Amino acid sequence: MIDVQNLTRKFGEFVAVHDISFQVERGEIFAFLGPNGAGKTTTIKILTTLLPPTSGQVRIDGLDPTREPTAVRQRIGIVFQDPSLDQNLSAWENLDLHGALYHVPRKVRRERMQRLLELFGLWERRDELVKQYSGGMMRRLEIARGLLHTPRILFLDEPTLGLDPQSRNQLWTHVKQLNQDEGVTVFLTTHYMDEADRVAGRIAVIDHGRIVSLGTSAELKAQTGSATLEEAFLALTGTAIREEVADASDQMRRAARAWRGR
């Protein structure tokens, strides 16, 4: 379903993704684990047509994201790592807009919107503008939106960042169900090892743009002689803390937030 061969992406001289190759089978749940700045989001942006690769070959359901972006986009759904809601619309309007962009028929759209809003505890407040929402509510709305149309491949980029355990549990239960019932292929990244352990079939550990290990959770543990996935992860990527580099847009966002007093 996803086929990546020798993928490299540079930003100027800096190599964010360094010659990685992997395959994800149809119906698989595949996790990318890696410290901050490892290149996870960059890889997802390339797979989802948002960024062209510097070199290498990518196929999504047999299609090239740079040559046939619209066909690839018809097959995918994505929950971004960073916020991507329209804060001046209500939750309902955000979902409705998404459904229209993804050509979900109106009647089906309404039903699914209600179901997802209820599932993520937002139904009562669906008509409020998103800017009134708390961080956790926004995150839940982003997830609900990503699940609104039924994609063949679902990309989840650190979907549970800032979520309470209840919502996390809801999310993963729902994702597993989608995977089992509708055969949706899932590509996820997370910082929470227990989540990867719980839902992912295979796991790729990525660091400094390279895949340092790939296998099932049991295989990674065996390879490193670790008792837990967390230990295996630390054995593979070291214990040094990675600087989270704020890029220009992060800084701008922060400034804008401060300026608006929230």
Which residues would be at the binding site for Mg ion (CB under 5 A)? 40-41, 81
Give dist(CA 182, CA 171) in Å, integer: 16
Site for another protein in 192-211 (CB under 8 A): none
Judged by beta carbon distances under 5 to 8 A according to partner kind, the member of another protein, ligand ADP, Mg ion, none in contact with residue 83 is another protein
79 interacts with ligand ADP by CB under 6 A: no
Q: Which H/E stretch holds residue 254? A: helix 248-259
* Residues 191 and 136 sit within 8 Å (Cβ to Cβ): no
Q: Round the CA-based radius of gyration of the chain to a whole number and report it.
A: 18
* Residues 81 and 158 sit within 8 Å (Cβ to Cβ): yes
Q: Reduce the DSSP state of residue 211 to 3 states and report it.
A: strand
3-state per-residue secondary structure call for 148-208: CCCCCEEEEECCCCCCCHHHHHHHHHHHHHHHHHHCCEEEEECCCHHHHHHHCCEEEEEEC
Could you say which of 24, 31, 38, 76 contacts another protein (CB under 8 A)? 76
Give dist(CA 140, CA 223) in Å, integer: 36
Judged by beta carbon distances under 5 to 8 A according to partner kind, the member of Mg ion, another protein, ligand ADP, none in contact with residue 108 is none
Closer residue to another protein, CB minimum distance, 141 or 236 = 141
134 interacts with another protein by CB under 8 A: no
Could you say which of 7, 46, 58, 85 contacts another protein (CB under 8 A)? 85
Q: Which H/E stretch holds residue 213? A: strand 210-216
Judged by beta carbon distances under 5 to 8 A according to partner kind, the member of another protein, Mg ion, ligand ADP, none in contact with residue 102 is another protein
34 interacts with ligand ADP by CB under 6 A: yes
161 interacts with another protein by CB under 8 A: no
Q: Which residues bind another protein (CB under 8 A)?
A: 45, 48-51, 70-71, 73-74, 76, 78, 80, 82-89, 93, 96-98, 100-103, 129, 145, 248-249, 252-253, 256
Q: Which residues bind ligand ADP (CB under 6 A)?
A: 11, 14, 16, 34, 36-42, 245
